[in-house]
Each structure stands twice: as structure tokens, then as C-alpha cells.
Chains A and B, each alone.
Chain A
Amino acid sequence: MDDSSAAGAPRYCIQCGAPVSPVNNISGSMERYTFQFTATAREYFRIWIVNLFLTVITLGVWAAWAKVRNRRYIWASTNLAGHPFTFHGNPAAILRGNMIIAGMFVAYVAMKKFEPGLAGILFFIFSVVFPFLVCKSLRFNAHNTSYRNIRFRFLGGLGESYQTYLLFAGIVPFTLFIFFPAWQFYKKKYFFNNLAYGMTGSTFSGRKGPFYRAYLLACVIGGLCFMVFSSLGAYAVHRLSTVLGNTGASGTLSFVYSLFFTYLIMAFIIYALQAVIYSMTMNHCWSRTRLGKAYFASTLRARRLLFIRITNMAAIFCSLGLLIPWAKIRRTRYILENLAVVTASGLDDFASVAASETTAVGDAATDFVGIEIGL
């Protein structure tokens, strides 16, 4: 596919010549391909539990193989126009990545507990290394994903990663967190603007406005919920301490407990509201991303995703974790089946990168260590 002419060039309406917005105005010749998710909770549960068992009895070594197995299942169950995605991650590379992460974790715990003064230095070192790891992680995952025998790539450079994950992240606290939604925007931009499917690179024309809207809405809802819940909680603690005998000592005690409950309620609300932020920002990001001549449309509804998140949490809690696979399949299904590729030129003409380029040193190094960073 000749993507050089398509990338970045605006599309024009065939009848009147006016620029066509890819989101609102899909002309008749456009075809819409929705993602189909064929995974079942039953099948995923079996894969999950067997590999979890193997992971625990090997004291974590199998975790890398388990990750590949679980992810391969999810990827292989994701179909677009009748063909599945494939995950190629090499377990040995993920094992190396896991060992690096585990080493950093142990170093941090040891420092924090035994030499708290030096933990700050370690934190500094981690924050300098982190953008590098993010970049490598995104490359690893993109490079190890293929569709129709063509690999994805992530072309984002280290410079942009350091700008986003070190500079902007460092600025956020000094702007009283007003910059926070913008920072989230730059993180998404780093991802959506640097993807490539074979030779076809992506372009991202998202804006910060929707991010500010999403976070503002989340803050308002969160603030209201917090006021209601924490006053209910405070009242309950107050009643409890009066029942148990009211003396000076229990005053401080009930203060400590109400602090604990407040923290718990806060964590719960923030966690639940991430569904709202996720649906709003992801809908925007996908609608502003182009892959050659293809557009995307994501139609997530915040309320539905919030409902799924809260019920998933309750299900996992009540089943002592056994419903984790069910919850994951349920959420992934909702997200994927609300994502579509819209294109006038079909999905058959994407070209792969010439074989000589894929064996370049960069990709080999990318596959040597697989690091997973939850973004």
C-alpha cells in the first residue's frame, strides 16, 4: 500500500470536494469492520488456572510462559474481518524482563526498609530508567503482534518517551495537577501517533480538550460520591464508637479508623471512575487515529463500562479471585466489540516491511528483553 500519499493528507468528499470528517461523515463506499471477540470465560479460565498452577510451583519462573499463553489466547480470539491476531512474544525474553523488574523491586524494598535515606536516590534512578523501559515495552508488544501475517511496529523514539514520562511527569505536581490531563494526552499521543502496521504508519490528531472534559467530569462525580460516602462512613464510625463506650482514647481511635475508611472509599471511587475516563478518552483517541486510509471508531459508553467495572470487582471479590478470567473476558469483549475499522479500500492491501529491515539490530534488541509496564 502506498501510504505516503494517504498519511496526513485530508480526505475529500467525492460529491462536493469538502473535507470529510472521518468520524461523523462516513460516505457510502466506506466499509465498517467491527472486531469480533470469540474468547469464552470457560476456556480462558482453564488456560489461566493451569498456567497459574505451573507458575506457583515453579516459584514464578513459568510466569513468562503463562503470560505468553494467556496473551496468545486473547490475541487469537480477537478477530477482525474473520482473521485473528497473533501474539509472538518469546517467553525467555519476558523471563529476562521479569527478572529485571523483580531485581528492581527487591532493591527498592531493601533500601526503603533498611536505608530509607538512600531510597530517594533509588527512586531517582528508577524515574530516569522508566521512560526507557516504557519505550522498550511498547516496542516489544507492538513488534510481537501480527495480523494476517504482518507485524505491527512501534516507532516512538526515546526522546519523546523521556519528554513524556520524565519531563512532563515531573512538571505535573508543580502545576497543581492542572497539567495532569494534558500529560495523559501526551501519553496517549506517544502511543497512537507512533504505531505502524507493516509499512503503514499511524497518525494521531487528538486534542487535549476531551481529556480535560473527561477528568473534569470524573472530578465532579468523584467529589460528590466522596462527600456522600465519607459522611455516611463517618456517621457509622461515630455510632460504632458511641456503642463501644465513649472515652478520650476511643476518640483518636475512631479518627484513625475513619481515616482508613476514607482512604478505602477514595481508592474505590478513583478506581471506578477510571472507567469513565477510559471510555471518554479512548473513544476520542481512536476516532482521531488513522492508519493509512483506515479510520477507527470506538463507541464505548461510560455508564456501561462503569457498570462492568463495578460488577467485575464485586464478582472477583465474592469468588475469592476465581472469576478473574470471566471478568477479564467480559471487559475485553465489551471494549473490542465497540471498536471498528472504517475504510474505503478494504483490509487486503497493507504491505509488510521488507524482510531485510526486520532483522535489523534494533528489533533483535527489542526482542531480547520483554518488559511489561502497565500504562
Chain B
Amino acid sequence: MIRFDASYFDGKTSRPYPVIVMFDGAALALEGEMDGAGMKARIRDCSIDPALGRTKRSIRLPGGGLLQTYDHDAVNAIERALNTNRPWRLVHFLESHGKAVAACMMCLILALTALVYYAIPHVSTRVARAIPPEVTASASRNALKMFDMRFLKPTGLPADRQQEIRNVFRDVARRIDPPGAGIYTLEFRSGKNLGANAFALPSGIVIVTDELVALADGDDELSAIFAHEVAHVKRRHSIRYILQSTGVLFLVSLLTGDVTSITNFAAFLPTLLIESGYSRDFEREADHEAASLLIASGKGTAPFRRILEKIDASHPGTLKLGVFSTHPETVRRLGYLSELEESPK
């Protein structure tokens, strides 16, 4: 016989009735001063709300009545006797044991690390391969239009010089990405505030600034830059970046889902951190691909290192953003490239 004090609510008015509940193994009997005192409810017809911290336990009676009590031992005993709420009892077990909570926390950290470093990049690489570059055509055209409006001016290069560089570019594209070589086109612009720079749009448009062309001594240095940019497109870095940031955003929204306002603002920083990390990974991948091409053609990574150094020197006063930067530091890229030269991977 289990006996405990509870508050009874009939579900018709908000009035609480103090009652004494007795459980004989099959039915609950209520004793108190209210209509239907002495009523009995078969336990099979009742439902017990799962335990949650040390908050009040609720037992729902057939006919809409409710019992609430702080007597956790009594309700736990009834629950065990009935063997109900089993999944929730497991969750409650985890929540109420310090070691289990600590284990969950460690596993959570491991799971998050695995997702950020392995699962999200891996899955997005697979998905990106299935997405044809044509999908990004209109977005790339719009991006170029936006760049033209804000940062770029028409090129000042003579037509025959342009043609020479185009030939170099076509050659690089054919060697880096033989099956997809047809999609790559080269655009010349004057860099204005961007200075010496080159960038690729996901549909295969590569833009090079006049300032960069002027900086390069010979075609080998330009080939290195082109190889780097073509590698970005070939490896679908733009699409992967979109997919991976969506994945991170999804993850962050899972982590902060329940707390609406406080964390949205704080979540901005880790998201930025992870995304710039992905961006630096892509740069390293593209560097690697460009270096492999240069080494295979017998030129070594020296031309690539020379042009990187010159580009770096042409942008003085760049603030070092460290973990928030989209590109690895030039010193590190140079170190990585010389390492590759000594022991190609």
C-alpha cells in the first residue's frame, strides 16, 4: 500500500482539493472533502507525466481529474510497478546523475567536433559533386555585375596582351580540370581599390586585375594564380562553402534553439569562426592543387611563392585577423608551398 498527499483538481474549476491518495497495486483511492470523494480510479486508466527534475509529479485520472504531489518516492514506486514511461525514465536517469550528465557533456563536445571537422565538410563535398556548375550561372553573373558596380573598372590591357594571357589560362584550365575545361573563362578588370587580386566565381569565370598582371614576371607566375583559382572552381569551393555554412547555421540553431533571444547574438561569433576556418581549408586545398601542377610541369613552387609575396607586399597595412581571416597568413602559405616542393604529397 502506497499512501501520499496530493492536490486534486477536477478539471472543471481551478479549485484545489487537498487529498490523501492510496494505491493498492491496482487502483488509486482518493480521500478528501470534495464531490466524489472516495472515488477509485484503476491505475491502468491513469497516465503519469514523466519525472522532470524535482518539480511536482502529475497523475492524470480518467474523466479529466489531476493529482499533483511533491511525493516523488511514491509516484516513482507506482511508475516502476506499472513499468510505464520507460524512455523518459532513461532520460530522467541521465539528467539526475552527475556522472551521466558529465558523460553527455563530453560526448556532446566530441560529437560537435566530429560534425564540424569531418561530417559537415565530407557530406558537403559529396553533395557539391552532384550539383552541376551551371546551377550557379545566374548567381555568378549577378555577383560579377555587383563587383563591376562597386569595386572594378574596365581593363586597360591591350587586346593582344589579353589574348596571350587567355592562352596561358586555357592551358592551365585544361591541365587542372580536363573534363570541365570548357566552362572556364577569363575576365580582365582594373582593380581600383582591390589592387592586385584574382578571384573565381562558381560558374567558372575567373577575374584577374590589371594590377596583378603588371605585378607578375612571366607567364609562370600567372599560371600559378590561375591554377589556384581554377582549383577553387573545380573543387566546387563556393558550393561547398554555401553547404557548409548552412550546415553550421543548422547546428548553431540546434544548439541555441530553445533560448530565443539571449544566444542569437552570441552565436554570431562562433559561426564566423567556423566559417573562416572552412575558407582557409579551401585556400590550402587550392594552393595544394596549384603546387602539384607546377611541380609536375617541372617549374617547382617558386613562381607561386614569388607572386604571393609580391601580392602581399602590394597590400600593406593589412590587419591580421588570425582565426577570423578567410585566407591563411601569407608566411604560412609560403612555408606550406616550400614544404610541398621538398616532399610532394
- Report which A residues bind B (CB closer than 8 A): 1, 38-39, 43-57, 60, 63, 66-67, 69-73, 76-77, 83-84, 86, 102, 106, 109, 113-117, 147-150, 197-198, 240-241, 244-247, 249-250, 252-254, 257, 267-268, 271, 274, 309, 312-313, 316-317, 321, 324, 327-328, 331, 347-352, 355, 374
Q: Are A321 and B266 in contact (CB under 8 A)?
A: yes
Given contacts A321-B270, A349-B14, A352-B12, 6 further A-B contacts (CB under 8 A): A52-B254, A54-B91, A71-B258, A247-B316, A313-B262, A327-B262
28 pairs of residues in contact across A and B, judged by CB atoms under 8 Å:
A46-B95, A47-B52, A49-B104, A50-B94, A53-B108, A53-B111, A67-B257, A72-B52, A73-B55, A76-B52, A76-B56, A77-B53, A83-B68, A102-B250, A106-B246, A113-B242, A116-B138, A149-B11, A249-B195, A249-B316, A249-B317, A250-B318, A267-B265, A317-B269, A321-B255, A328-B259, A349-B13, A351-B14
Q: Give chain A nearest CB distance to B5 CB in angstroms.
A: 13
B62 interface residue (CB < 8 Å to A): no
Given A50-B95, A324-B259, A374-B260, CB of A83 within 8 Å of CB of B107:
no
B301 interface residue (CB < 8 Å to A): no
B9 interface residue (CB < 8 Å to A): yes
Task: Mark contacts of B85-117 with chain A using CB atoms, 8 A cut-off: 1 yes-contact digit, 0 otherwise.
Answer: 000000100111000110011011001100100
B139 interface residue (CB < 8 Å to A): yes
Q: Give chain B nearest CB distance to A70 CB in angstroms.
A: 5
A374 to B136, CA, bound (A): 33
Q: Are B66 and A149 in contact (CB under 8 A)?
A: yes
Among candidates A44, A50, A114, A246, residue contacting B104 with C-beta atoms closer than 8 Å: A50
Given A148-B9, A349-B13, A352-B13, CB of A253 within 8 Å of CB of B258:
no
A226 to B318, CA, bound (A): 26
Q: Give chain B nearest CB distance to A116 CB in angstroms.
A: 6
B319 interface residue (CB < 8 Å to A): yes
Among candidates A67, A114, A148, A271, residue contacting B258 with C-beta atoms closer than 8 Å: A67
9 A-B pairs with least C-beta separation: A250-B317, A149-B9, A76-B55, A149-B66, A350-B14, A348-B15, A53-B108, A374-B260, A53-B104
Q: Are A83 and B139 in contact (CB under 8 A)?
A: no
Task: Mark contacts of B258-282 with chain A using CB atoms, 8 A cut-off: 1 yes-contact digit, 0 otherwise.
Answer: 1111110110011000000000000
Chain B residues 226 to 248 lying within 8 A of chain A, measured CB to CB, are: 242, 246
Q: Give chain A nearest CB distance to B95 CB in angstroms.
A: 5
Given A63-B257, A72-B52, A149-B10, CB of A53 within 8 Å of CB of B195:
no
Q: Are B262 and A331 in contact (CB under 8 A)?
A: yes
B323 interface residue (CB < 8 Å to A): no
Q: Which of B65, B142, B316 has the most CB of A within 10 A?
A: B316
Q: Are B261 and A274 in contact (CB under 8 A)?
A: yes
For residue B11, which residues in chain A have a CB less than 8 angstroms away from its CB? 149-150, 352
- Report which B residues bind A (CB closer than 8 A): 7, 9-16, 49, 52-56, 58, 64-66, 68, 91, 94-96, 100-101, 104-105, 107-108, 111-112, 115, 135-136, 138-139, 142, 193, 195, 242, 246, 250-251, 254-263, 265-266, 269-270, 314-319
Q: Are A328 and B262 in contact (CB under 8 A)?
A: yes
Q: Give chain A nearest CB distance to B78 CB in angstroms.
A: 19
Q: Are B15 and A316 in contact (CB under 8 A)?
A: no
Q: Are B316 and A250 in contact (CB under 8 A)?
A: yes
For residue B135, which residues in chain A have a CB less than 8 angstroms away from its CB? 114
Q: Are A351 and B108 in contact (CB under 8 A)?
A: no
Query: Closest residue of chain B to A72, judged by CB?
Result: B52
For residue B58, which residues in chain A have a CB less than 8 angstroms away from its CB? 86
A274 to B66, CA, bound (A): 39
Q: Are A313 and B265 in contact (CB under 8 A)?
A: yes
Q: Are B263 and A349 in contact (CB under 8 A)?
A: no
A268 to B105, CA, bound (A): 30
Q: Are A48 and B316 in contact (CB under 8 A)?
A: no
Given A67-B257, A313-B265, CB of A52 within 8 Å of CB of B15:
no
Given A114-B135, A117-B138, A147-B14, CB of A48 within 8 Å of CB of B105:
no
Given A245-B316, A245-B317, A349-B14, CB of A113 within 8 Å of CB of B52:
no
Q: Are B259 and A198 in contact (CB under 8 A)?
A: no
Given A55-B254, A76-B55, CB of A113 within 8 Å of CB of B139:
yes
Q: Are B108 and A52 in contact (CB under 8 A)?
A: yes
Q: Are A56 and B112 in contact (CB under 8 A)?
A: yes
Query: Closest residue of chain B to A322, judged by CB?
Result: B105
For residue B257, which residues in chain A have a CB less than 8 angstroms away from its CB? 55, 63, 66-67
